[in-house]
Amino acid sequence: MTVQTGSEPNRLQRRKARTRAALVSAAQSLIAAGKLNVPILEITQAADVGMGSFYNHFQSREELFAAAVEEALDQHGAVLDLLCEDVDDPAQVFAQSFRLTGRLHRRNPTLSKVLLNNGLTLAGSDKGLAPRAHRDIEAAAHAGRFQVRDPELAMTIVAGAAICLGRLLHDHPERDDTEAADQVAEDLLRMFGLPADEAHEICRRPLPSLDAPPQDDTAA
């Protein structure tokens, strides 16, 4: 009689997790490259897994790509939460999140392009930048820091600015991404009612490093 140890299911679970992570990573790279109609065989080859392994995790290419986008949004949102957890002023939290997102485009181009190639998903998603920006706008308005009558409309402006900024930085690699992100953040703060000198000062404060948070094992 063979006695199974508890380590065997754990090894199986780890192997399944690695396979799923490889598929998601491959999908994120394909999305970043704009290859949305590739056959499943090409995805499994990019992930270096068998075709049968694909169907152990996903029913279709579309389901995988949706998961890849969702996990990219989750990854970025988790980074923002971690890097802003010690900031008390909601106006600074908003600005810091936006400035960090602007820096993402050059520091993690694959994740950036996943987000940009799914701009509508980003703007309306309940994960990633959008819900956090909406939360911070409402918190800043409640604290009297922002003069915003309709946070949902304000969020539409922010999403458009974030997506267009990312596209601009990819299209014009000669442009200084740090200066561009800080300038757009400063303009948004002024639009939301902060005095010009304060908006400028907030957007020139030192930022935590995007390299500090650990990457999630299930994302690219």
Question: Is position 215 within any domain?
Answer: no
Confidence of residue 214 (pLDDT cuts 50, 70, 90): very low
Query: Is there a contact between 124 and 130 (Cβ–Cβ < 8 Å)?
Result: yes
Number of domains in the chain: 1
3-class secondary structure, 87: coil
In a domain, 208, yes or no: no
Per-residue pLDDT tens digits for 165-185: 999 999 999 999 999 999 999
Is 99 part of any domain?
A: yes
Provide the mean pLDDT of the chain: 86
- Give me the long-range contacts of 38-47 (CB less than 8 A, separation at least 24): 47/19, 47/22, 47/23
130, part of any domain: yes
Mean pLDDT of 42-67: 90
What is the helix (H) or strand (E) element at residue 128, kind and residue range? Answer: none
Q: Note whether residue 24 is domain-resident.
A: yes
Contact in structure between 101 and 129 (CB atoms under 8 Å)? yes
- The CATH number of residue 182's host domain is 1.10.357.10
Residues 131-155: pLDDT tens digits?
A: 888 899 999 999 999 999 999 899 9
Q: Which domain holds residue 18?
A: 7-202
Q: Summarize the confidence of residues 116-129 as an average pLDDT.
A: 72
What's this model's pTM, rounded to 2 decimal places?
0.76
With respect to residue 84, please indicate whether it lies within any of the assigned structural domains.
Answer: yes
* Residue 94, CA distances (Å) to 81, 109, 190 in order: 11, 22, 13
Name residue 5's amino acid.
Answer: T
In-domain check, residue 216: no
* Residue 157 forms part of a structural domain: yes
